[in-house]
């Protein structure tokens, strides 16, 4: 049972204020957002920071819900619809982190998209956003790729990402979005 204390200690060291691991549905997403909103409201955070953090959380959670829906439980495998969502808070920023399984054949396209986003400045991201809207590039999952663009725009920071190998078919996609805190 030491893992309980180890987990608690890790959460304190990493300044985690909210962690959810499990299946992500619209209902769990609503609950997570409500908890996070209460936490932000009780912290007397600047309203501009709250809006940015909330927007990034919504996009990150929608991304998990959309992409985890294609995962099914595989007998004898680590692959499931299970994903993770975390928020941490430091003196300078909030950090929204997610992790979810993705098929390996999606990895290269995702890397290309994220690297392209990270190569853009504020104006470049704005143009990219307008271009996607103008061309109505809606994917088969119902998104237009706007989620990552919006997270990059709202945070004003580069999106950090990593792929951890799970098995020959799936990688675990980890995303970290830092949102600077506005000072009074």
What CATH number corresponds to the domain at position 76? 3.30.565.10
> Using one digit for the tens of pLDDT, what is the confidence trace for 32-91?
999 988 888 888 888 999 999 999 999 999 988 887 655 554 444 545 668 999 999 999
- Per-residue confidence (pLDDT) for residue 73, from 0 to 100: 43
Q: Is the pTM here over 0.85, yes or no?
A: yes
pLDDT the model gives residue 80: 60
Helices (H), the chain: 2-13, 26-42, 47-68, 107-119, 122-135, 146-155
Domain that holds residue 117: 2-180
pLDDT in tens, 125-168: 999 988 888 876 555 555 557 899 999 999 999 999 999 999 89
Give the number of other Cβ atoms within 10 Å of residue 6's Cβ.
Answer: 10
Which residues, in sequence order, are bridge partners of residue 162? Answer: 174
d(CA 80, CA 119): 33
Domain count, the chain: 1
């Amino acid at each position: 049972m030491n893992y309980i204390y180890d987990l608690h200690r890790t959460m304190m060291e990493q300044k985690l204020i909210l962690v959810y691991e499990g299946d992500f549905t619209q209902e769990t997403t609503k609950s997570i957002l409500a908890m996070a909103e209460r936490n932000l409201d009780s912290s007397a955070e600047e309203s501009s920071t709250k809006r940015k953090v909330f927007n990034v959380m919504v996009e990150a959670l929608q991304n998990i819900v959309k992409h985890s829906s294609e995962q099914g439980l595989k007998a004898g495998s680590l692959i499931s619809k299970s994903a993770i969502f975390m928020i941490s808070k430091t003196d300078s920023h909030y950090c929204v982190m997610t992790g979810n399984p993705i098929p390996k054949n999606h990895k290269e396209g995702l890397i290309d998209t994220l690297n392209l986003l990270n190569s853009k400045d504020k104006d470049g991201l704005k143009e990219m956003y307008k271009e996607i809207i103008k061309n109505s590039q809606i994917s088969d999952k119902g998104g237009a790729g706007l989620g990552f663009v919006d997270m990059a725009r709202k945070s004003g920071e580069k999106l950090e990402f990593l792929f951890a190998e799970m098995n020959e078919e799936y990688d675990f996609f980890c995303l970290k979005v830092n949102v600077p805190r506005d000072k009074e």
